[in-house]
Chain A
Amino acid sequence: MSGLNYFQKAALNRLGDIMCPRNGEFPSFSDLDCIHHAHIVLDEIPAQDLKDLKLLLFALWFMPAPLMRIFLFTLERMKDIGGEAGTLIRMLQFGLRGIAFALYYSDLKGPKAISQQTPVNVIGFEVAVQKN
């Protein structure tokens, strides 16, 4: 049961667009419809972590984009503090950056993508190995 519901998808797309906006050659997170491939990561996350992530995304759905920007900025600024608050901030940051960047730089697009090229194309990463 790793799939995201409507609210969680909307929150992840909003979060993704703040972390990975449309910028010159770079498409935005939602331009790629990369959320279509979120199951690749979500299927492998430990059950409790997945439950926490879904809850967090649902909570973020209520957060308008400007507030979400402030939220992410605050996480970044406060990631080095000590104690349990610092631990929570680093975990949140690692988890949110992890899912957003993993999808954005996956080189995968969804069926509703409106961008021709992926961020991997933009940065020029290309590797190949000939099989035996």
Chain B
Amino acid sequence: MSSIDWDLIVVGSGPSGGRIAADFVKKGAKVLLLEAGSFFRAKDFPKPEISSSAQMFWGGGAELSTDARLGFLRAKCVGGTSVVNQALLDRFDDYVWSEWKNITGINFSDAYIAEDYEAVEKSVTLQTIPEKAFGKNTRLFLKAFEKKNFGWAPLRRGQSHCDVENGNDCMACLGGCPRNSKQSTLVTSVEPSLEKGLTLIPNCEVNSIEDYDSGVVVKAVLNKKDQATYKAKALVIAGGSFGTSKILLQSGFEKKLPALGKGIACHPQYMTYALFNEPIDAFKGAFQGVKSYDDNLRKMGLKFENVFAPPIATAMLFAGHGRKHQEEMKRYRYLASMEVAIRDEASGSLSIGKGGKLLVNKKITDQDRARADKGVGFVREMYSQLGAKEVIACEQGFGLHLMGGCAIGTDEKKSVVNPEFRVHGTKKVFVADSSIFPSAPGLNPSLTIMALSQKAIPFIERSLA
């Protein structure tokens, strides 16, 4: 291989890639961070909703499964998912670790990852929304849960100064937080690293990689038109479940690694709205403050959160069109909503279609359907008990937590990444993002993606030595 320009190339700047890139910049390495999306900062996040949705997500807002029954929201911007999510940072529990241990042969446990969790938690500001700042949507959620005897807990959020008491509406931050309060990778890792020598190339979509004894070659397209090639001693692919799998599929790795692109999960989420007599104004103030925290619900594979959706998303979630649809939208201020996310079977697969299009073959299995129906049934029941005039259960499921495709494990026939986060059969190619999840955890994945990335750092470092 001819001259190597970089110590490390990182593809993808979300919770995994941004964090790893920042760590190696601190260590004095020459790091190149490639991001398919655009580089927006607090001062110029696209607004309104139509712009943020189109410019910060793949597919111009959403992508569909091959049978068009599930939609996927996949961030496409510097900072990745962490810029557009609600920065909910939960640790995984023993339900996850014991399952992952069985699947992978790796000794997953609280102890396995405790130090990494601590390191990540120290590097961000974690807060919960104080009860006095709960809006009506949250209060209704709590009332419903108490009537039903379900346990709940405040959501632990990566945020530093939302100042909702003084009139800030967190929903405005779904397309990026203009206050830089949200502890996104953009804020905590990428921007500080740029000042310390990180080279960032946005709008750079990596198509394929080649792995050699002496290093790696990355082939990409810049600004949708120009071909570019980069060389480094080592490579981290952190494009998330879909992005990382796509790059490896396009690079021909599925011939040696039959598990590549398999085992896709997404925590399908179903929103249910309830109409009340008085205005709820669920979009005002603090936005997502509490979650279900109940062992029985956990065993059922259900997770509830008090969320709401902005107008375009709500219009898409409501069925139909025309006058009836408008009349439903007109009641927007009087609507509460709750979401149920299910711990789905990792049954999906990815492949490359015509023109390099990523095909997501992810079907709702019978078990998934039963879980979703059960969860939505609970929500209907809870809202009816609270005296809702009408309950609107939305049929369209969305996957926001995209996981799998490059499962971690010891067996090359069943996994893609080894316990040292290196792609099987390669010397210098590492993956530590959500694509390595061997099954759906049923919990918010961001913190664990960062912690696993933290765990991968010593192995990557060793490959550079």
Interface of A toward B, CB cutoff 8 Å: 18-21, 23, 25-26, 37, 40-49, 72, 76, 86-87, 90-91, 94, 97-98, 100-108, 119-120, 122-125, 127-132
Contacts and interface: CB of A to CB of B under 8 A. Distances in A.
Contacts of B163: 130
Main SS of the interface on chain B? Answer: helix
Contacts of A131: 42-43, 178-179
Interface in B36-76: 42-43, 48-51, 53-55, 59-62, 64, 66-69, 71
B68 A94 contact: yes
Given A40-B51, A41-B54, A130-B163, A123 B178 contact: no
Interface of B: 42-43, 48-51, 53-55, 59-62, 64, 66-69, 71, 161, 163, 166-173, 177-180, 279, 283-284, 310-312, 315-316, 319-323, 325-327, 329-330, 332-333, 354-355, 357
Nearest to B396: A94
Contacts of A41: 50, 54, 60-61
Contact of B68 (A20, A91, A104): A91
Contacts of B51: 40
A102 B310 CA distance: 11
Contact of A106 (B50, B59, B60, B171): B50
14 contacts: A18-B322, A20-B322, A40-B55, A44-B54, A45-B59, A48-B354, A94-B62, A97-B316, A102-B54, A123-B311, A124-B332, A127-B284, A132-B42, A132-B179
A131 B177 CA distance: 9
B322 A19 contact: yes
A19 B329 contact: no
A54 to B, nearest CB: 14
B333 A105 contact: no
A52 to B, nearest CB: 11
A20 B320 CA distance: 11
